[in-house]
A and B are shown apart, each in its own frame.
Chain A
Amino acid sequence: MAGSGNSEVKLLGAWASPYVARARIALNLKEVQYEFLEEQFGTKSELLLKSNPIYKKIPVLIHDDKPICESLIIVQYIDEVWVSSGPALMPADAYDRALHRFWAVYIDDKFVPSLFGMMRAPTEEAKAESKEQALASLQLLEEAFGKISKGKPFFGGDTIGYLDVALGAFVGWMKAFEEMNGFKLLDDAKTPLLCAWAENFCNNEVVGAVIPETAKLVELAKVMQARFKSAPPAN
């Protein structure tokens, strides 16, 4: 079934969502033709509610009418289905796979909440706490990169892998927060490996097409911040 021109692939998503970016980057790396169905900000389409009744969230990959939910699960699915197209995203060795999975979960559980915590923080104190957590997370990821990449440009080695996609999809938002808050998240002095990695990642053609422009994200962030301040945060 891999690479079949007849199979229908749709992705429910939104241009600014880093979770959706993970799916798009993986699809692009595997050269999969797909239809991008954009959800409107603030509403959820019938198709979304039907395809992801449990969480009602994007991204949802719909492959031959079968939905797959949760960005990291989607990336693994793409890697397993389009196995003969392009290099594998998951490492070959079981232990390396466990490491990629561990850090991807860490990114979702610890790094991302602190990153967006800076935007949602109701007080300056809470904001500072989120910032500290975000920087600490990146320091750990810097160390992890050193061990996992073994001197190569990506977590996946010579080519972009699962963990690169998991973290790299957030580079756009990281740049937006740097601009909005006037400090560096990725710092040549503290996280030199990740700085080089981020540049290599964004220089990749298929990635560059997916990561939104920093200016657009900053604009969106300001709109969202105003909403958070005026109403209780909903998900």
Chain B
Amino acid sequence: MASEKGVMLLDFWVSPFGQRARIALAEKGVEYEYKEENLRDKSELLLKSNPIHKKIPVLIHDGKPICESLIIVQYIDETWSDKAPLLPSDPYQRAQARFWADFVDKKVFECGGKLWKLKGEEQEAAKTEMIEILQILEAQLGDKKYFGGDIFGFVDVAFVPFTSWFYSYETCANFSVEEVAPKIVKWAKRCMERESVEKTLPDPKKVYEFVRYLKKRFGIE
């Protein structure tokens, strides 16, 4: 795998983590080769590029692999630094951006998973948790255009892929994101006006189909 020039992304269509990398690459106008992985039959390249976690996304730049979506996004931001800065230049603002992207990482995906995996009281508890998470993020967004302020930034990239899962969360757990976090919904629409986001995010109905497939596979209903 010595110095094969170019950029490749090992990914899976519905993965919000992979979508972060795709959006960042699109914002920067970077040309790359997209390789869809079959997660039930992982490629040699994936296993070789991410031997520790064996997970997507993996960005391979000139033959060198970078793993973990937020680390990939920072790498993209630092390497193609001539346009569309994703992280602010001020150290305090950068620390804030990292904190909130990390918050999204720690909270949203896992809680979202509980919404479609669990039933009854446990699901209710997860719903309460998700509403709290969304409201915390809503408070952080405030009246800003993006989490990054006027500039579409690191936290926006980190969180926006999960917006295509809102329909699934709402349908499985019976609540409305718009009711509990209207600013987040408006922000999501603004993000969708960006080509990078619009071209990357899947149709929420397709995501829901995928969730239903997972439920069947795991015997949940």
Spell out A's residues near B (CB within 8 Å).
Answer: 54, 63, 66, 68-70, 73-74, 76-77, 80-81, 94-95, 97-98, 101-102, 105-106, 140
Q: Which residues from chain B contact A66 at a C-beta distance below 8 Å?
A: 92
Secondary structure type dominating chain A contacts: helix
Beyond A77-B95, A80-B94, 6 additional pairs, beta carbon < 8 A? A70-B99, A95-B61, A95-B66, A97-B74, A101-B74, A140-B52
Q: Which residues from chain A contact B67 at a C-beta distance below 8 Å?
A: 102
Query: Shortest Cβ distance from A175 into chain B, in angstroms?
Result: 26
Q: Are A98 and B74 in contact (CB under 8 A)?
A: yes
Q: Are A77 and B92 in contact (CB under 8 A)?
A: yes
Q: Are A101 and B68 in contact (CB under 8 A)?
A: yes
Q: Are A98 and B91 in contact (CB under 8 A)?
A: no
Q: Are A76 and B98 in contact (CB under 8 A)?
A: yes
Q: B136 in the interface, Cβ–Cβ < 8 Å? A: yes
Q: How far is the CA of A94 from the CA of B77 in the complex (A)?
A: 10
Q: How far is the CA of A70 from the CA of B97 in the complex (A)?
A: 12
Q: How far is the CA of A80 from the CA of B102 in the complex (A)?
A: 19
Secondary structure type dominating chain B contacts: helix
Given contacts A68-B92, A76-B95, A80-B91, contact A98 B52 (CB under 8 A): no
Q: B3 in the interface, Cβ–Cβ < 8 Å? A: no
Q: Are B74 and A69 in contact (CB under 8 A)?
A: no
Contact of A97 among B68, B78, B94, B136 (CB under 8 A): B78
Q: How far is the CA of A54 from the CA of B136 in the complex (A)?
A: 9
Q: Are A54 and B71 in contact (CB under 8 A)?
A: no
Q: How far is the CA of A54 from the CA of B132 in the complex (A)?
A: 11
Q: Are B92 and A63 in contact (CB under 8 A)?
A: yes
| Interface positions of B from 149 to 189, Cβ below 8 Å from A | none
Q: How far is the CA of A73 from the CA of B95 in the complex (A)?
A: 6
Taking CB as reference atom, which chain B residue is nearest A81?
B91
Contact of A54 among B68, B94, B103 (CB under 8 A): B103
Q: How far is the CA of A69 from the CA of B64 in the complex (A)?
A: 31
Contact of B64 among A77, A80, A95, A101 (CB under 8 A): A95
| Interface positions of B from 44 to 89, Cβ below 8 Å from A | 52, 61, 64, 66-68, 71-72, 74-75, 78-79
| Interface positions of B from 90 to 133, Cβ below 8 Å from A | 91-92, 94-95, 98-99, 102-103
> Can you list 6 residue pairs at the A/B interface with Cβ under 8 Å?
A68-B95, A73-B99, A74-B95, A81-B91, A95-B61, A105-B71
Q: How far is the CA of A95 from the CA of B99 in the complex (A)?
A: 22
Contact of A102 among B61, B68, B94 (CB under 8 A): B68
Q: Are A98 and B71 in contact (CB under 8 A)?
A: yes
Q: Are B75 and A105 in contact (CB under 8 A)?
A: no
Query: Shortest Cβ distance from A99 into chain B, in angstroms?
Result: 8
Contact of B102 among A73, A97, A140 (CB under 8 A): A73
Query: Shortest Cβ distance from B178 into chain A, in angstroms?
Result: 24
Contact of A77 among B72, B79, B91 (CB under 8 A): B91
Q: How far is the CA of A165 from the CA of B213 in the complex (A)?
A: 44
Q: How far is the CA of A102 from the CA of B66 in the complex (A)?
A: 8
Taking CB as reference atom, which chain B residue is nearest A80?
B91
Q: Which residues from chain A contact B95 at a C-beta distance below 8 Å?
A: 68, 73-74, 76-77
Taking CB as reference atom, which chain B residue is nearest A106?
B52
Q: How far is the CA of A228 from the CA of B74 in the complex (A)?
A: 39
Taking CB as reference atom, which chain B residue is nearest A103?
B52
Q: Are B71 and A101 in contact (CB under 8 A)?
A: yes
Q: Which residues from chain B contact A68 at a C-beta distance below 8 Å?
A: 92, 95, 99
Q: Which residues from chain A contact B74 at a C-beta distance below 8 Å?
A: 97-98, 101
Q: How far is the CA of A68 from the CA of B66 in the complex (A)?
A: 27
Query: Shortest Cβ distance from A66 into chain B, in angstroms?
Result: 6
Taking CB as reference atom, which chain A residue is nearest B71?
A101
Query: Shortest Cβ distance from A95 into chain B, in angstroms?
Result: 6
Q: How far is the CA of A102 from the CA of B64 in the complex (A)?
A: 14
Given contacts A54-B103, A73-B98, A102-B67, contact A95 B52 (CB under 8 A): no
Q: How far is the CA of A97 from the CA of B81 in the complex (A)?
A: 15
Q: Which residues from chain A contact B136 at a C-beta distance below 8 Å?
A: 54
Given contacts A102-B67, A105-B68, A106-B52, contact A77 B75 (CB under 8 A): no
Given contacts A77-B94, A101-B68, contact A94 B99 (CB under 8 A): no
Q: Which residues from chain A contact B98 at a C-beta distance below 8 Å?
A: 70, 73, 76
